[in-house]
Chains A and B, each alone.
Chain A
Amino acid sequence: MDIFLQQIINGLVLGSIYALVALGYTMVYGILGLINFAHGEVVMVGALVAYSIMTALLPTGMPPVLLALLALLVAAPVCMGLAWAIERYAYRPLRHAPKLAPLISAIGVSILLQNLAMMIWGRSYHSFPDILPAITYDINGAHISLLQVVTIALAALTMAVLAWLIQRTSLGQAMRATAENPAIAELMGIPVNRIITLTFIIGAALAALAGLMVGANYSVAHYYMGFMLGLKAFTAAVLGGIGNITGAMLGGLLLGLIESLGAGYIADLTGGFLGSHYQDIFAFLVLIGVLVFRPGGLMGERVSERA
């Protein structure tokens, strides 16, 4: 029983991290219908900037939590600036280009950022400092650390704030209008470009937070970390219904749980024929299954669907 509980905890933590990254994907997709392939790379930059700040300030003897906050205060604006530049120079000119052009542009940005990061931070893996004291709680033999509790809570909080922002504020209203129809939103006096830029910037702030949490949870930061993470998060966003904030959270958690339970029980389920190396197959099969029966993802997609 404690093993099962532990797998659930593992899955929830992993899922929360996916969700944090997936929220950024889903926001941009919701408003532009664009797969922002470079989002994983923005998360990577966030993690590496946070790493640099924290290791630089480590000798001052500040408490780790304060360090983490300072790191976030630097990492977030850097990511926001980066996202602004990406949107302005790589995506905006392509807004009316054929559908796949922005995708290729995004892949280009992704390669560009990876190699820039490699030049700046070098090729080695960096050990990410602890941001919270190593306190572990024991629930029925299963372990959960303070950091993991905070990770889950942060993901839930972020989702709630975003949902509030989009549903209850005038900015959110403008975002929804832009997602519905940018041309008409423009006519209604909504500064469409500013709204889109803002969406990217909010997504980037989330990416910085996600980068910090990924680094802290796995104690590694590396210029190549964004790729796989981005892919998984994107899968999570699609699973939940891309463009849908609650869907991203749900998709993230679900993907985390599937991976964790898959790795834990796939061998027992198949009588030892398939092992944990088929974990990703398991995840993708669930994804395909969900999409075959619910082509819009679990929670349904955003309100408007562009043809």
Chain B
Amino acid sequence: MSLHKRHTLSATALILATLGLTACGNKDAAPAASGEVTIKIGHAAPLTGPQAHLGKDNENGAVMAIDELNSRGVTLGGNKVKFVLISEDDQADPKAGTTVAQKFVDQKVNGVVGHLNSGTTIPASRIYSDAGIPQISGSATNPTYTQQGFKTTFRVFANDVHQGQALAQFATQSLKAKTIAIVDDRTAYGQGLADEFKKAAEAAGARIVAQEFTTDKATDFKAILTKIKASNPDILFFSAMDAQGGPALKQARELGLKATFLIGDGGCTPEFIKLAGNAAEGQYCSLPGVPLEKMPGGTVFKEKYKQRYNQQIQLYAPYVYDAVMVMADAMQRANSADPTKYLPEVSKAQYQGVTAKIEFDAKGDLSVPAVSIYQDKGGDWNFVETLGVTAAAPAKK
């Protein structure tokens, strides 16, 4: 290679770098039509990497909410407003999570929905809190998130404690399980849920006969399943996502493990049934909130999603949709999109969402975190019962 070419290349690299920095000066100036006020909502989730399918699903939910708000036409303080979604990839990486959070703060977003993972949500929440920007997560389940003493943190999803207790209640009371095996994937989600489930199940008198572990990248579960088979439990609670749960269930049946399979929200997806195949028939999963079909607007949302994205809802899209809607609702009640003005209104929310009636407790968690149980019948998750419901939510069948 000639010397000349070398210099050209390094010069190009430098120019690129320089351009990069200058280009960002005039970034993302969202043009607003005259007379319209633009309200920016930030959305963060992993859009690349192994969890990208869930991240995209979240984004879809947010996009639908934004479009609906815009077509409905919202006015705040006498001005017609236009909602704009700024969606960023946090790569499920805590460091990238804070960078994205900072970007939102710099762009002066009016509110943030996200992030998807607890590991990104927690460090990012500090930055939103410092900037006074309300943050509503539709999927982070780690209890710590709302326990940091920040006024800006909310979630429209049952946390690990609530869901773990509901699952244990279902396992010990409805399924009358005496012996239980637990597998978790050693992620913040899987381990957190498994621990709460274990505590509640033991308190309810069940015996944990085996506790095994896998990872969120594993595909082969036969070794741990063989071990579990030796302890012959009534129920296998698999605390992981669908990508692991589905194949694990299939492999369990291949090994002749007959325990009833129970999985949390991470497995309550069409994907799980697809991956587990026939083995999924008759098995159970849980999902915070009440079934979409039972909520006003729920079925419509489901159909609209299917039409628009040509696929079923993956997992958290309805919750993220609700998160945006709760935020917009609070803005309307405050008649302002100024975070300092509408933040108190978020805490006072009484919003009928598609996943539940949303009211927050003092920390920003759902005050009535309902959890519903579903069973696979003929390749679809069918509603079984809702646990932890009070008068606020529709009565169960």
The answer to whether A218 touches B219 (Cβ under 8 A) is yes
Question: CA A229 – CA B227 in complex, angstroms?
Answer: 23
Question: CA A277 – CA B194 in complex, angstroms?
Answer: 14
Interface residues of B in 243-277 (CB under 8 A from A): 243, 246-247, 250-251, 254-256, 271, 274-275, 277
The answer to whether A225 touches B219 (Cβ under 8 A) is yes
Measured CB to CB, the closest approach of chain B to A200, in angstroms, equals: 24
Question: CA A276 – CA B182 in complex, angstroms?
Answer: 12
Interface majority SS (helix, strand, loop, mixed), chain B: helix
Measured CB to CB, the closest approach of chain B to A233, in angstroms, equals: 13
Interface majority SS (helix, strand, loop, mixed), chain A: helix
- The interface stretch among A116-124, A152-160, A173-181 is A116-124
Measured CB to CB, the closest approach of chain B to A46, in angstroms, equals: 15
Question: Scoring B residues 204 to 248 as 1 if CB is less than 8 Å from chain A, else 0, what string do you get?
Answer: 000000011111011110111011011000000000001100110
The answer to whether B255 touches A6 (Cβ under 8 A) is yes
The answer to whether A14 touches B56 (Cβ under 8 A) is no
Question: Scoring A residues 212 to 233 as 1 if CB is less than 8 Å from chain B, else 0, what string do you get?
Answer: 0010011110101101110000
Question: CA A115 – CA B89 in complex, angstroms?
Answer: 14
Q: Is B186 an interface residue (CB 8 A)?
A: yes
Question: CA A261 – CA B223 in complex, angstroms?
Answer: 7
The answer to whether B243 touches A222 (Cβ under 8 A) is yes
Interface size class of A (residues with CB under 8 A): 35 or more
The answer to whether A123 touches B53 (Cβ under 8 A) is yes
Question: CA A219 – CA B275 in complex, angstroms?
Answer: 7
Q: Which residues of B contact A127 (CB under 8 A)?
A: 246, 271, 274-275, 277
Measured CB to CB, the closest approach of chain A to B177, in angstroms, equals: 22
The answer to whether B254 touches A10 (Cβ under 8 A) is no
Contacts between chains A and B (CB distance < 8 A), count: 102
Q: Is B296 an interface residue (CB 8 A)?
A: no
Chain B CB within 10 A, most for which of A10, A118, A124: A124
The answer to whether B48 touches A6 (Cβ under 8 A) is no
Q: Which residues of B contact A219 (CB under 8 A)?
A: 246-247, 250, 275, 277
The answer to whether A275 touches B223 (Cβ under 8 A) is no
The answer to whether A276 touches B271 (Cβ under 8 A) is no
Q: Is B49 an interface residue (CB 8 A)?
A: yes
B220: nearest residue on chain A (CB-CB)?
A: A14
Interface residues of B in 311-331 (CB under 8 A from A): 311, 314
Q: Which residues of B contact A112 (CB under 8 A)?
A: none
Measured CB to CB, the closest approach of chain A to B317, in angstroms, equals: 13
A265: nearest residue on chain B (CB-CB)?
A: B227
* B→A interface (CB under 8 Å): 48-50, 52-53, 55-56, 186, 211-215, 217-220, 222-224, 226-227, 229-230, 242-243, 246-247, 250-251, 254-256, 271, 274-275, 277, 311, 314
Some 22 contacts from A to B, beta carbons below 8 A apart, are A3-B226, A7-B223, A11-B223, A118-B48, A118-B52, A123-B53, A125-B271, A136-B254, A217-B220, A218-B219, A218-B220, A219-B246, A219-B277, A220-B243, A224-B49, A224-B217, A259-B223, A260-B222, A264-B223, A275-B211, A275-B213, A279-B223
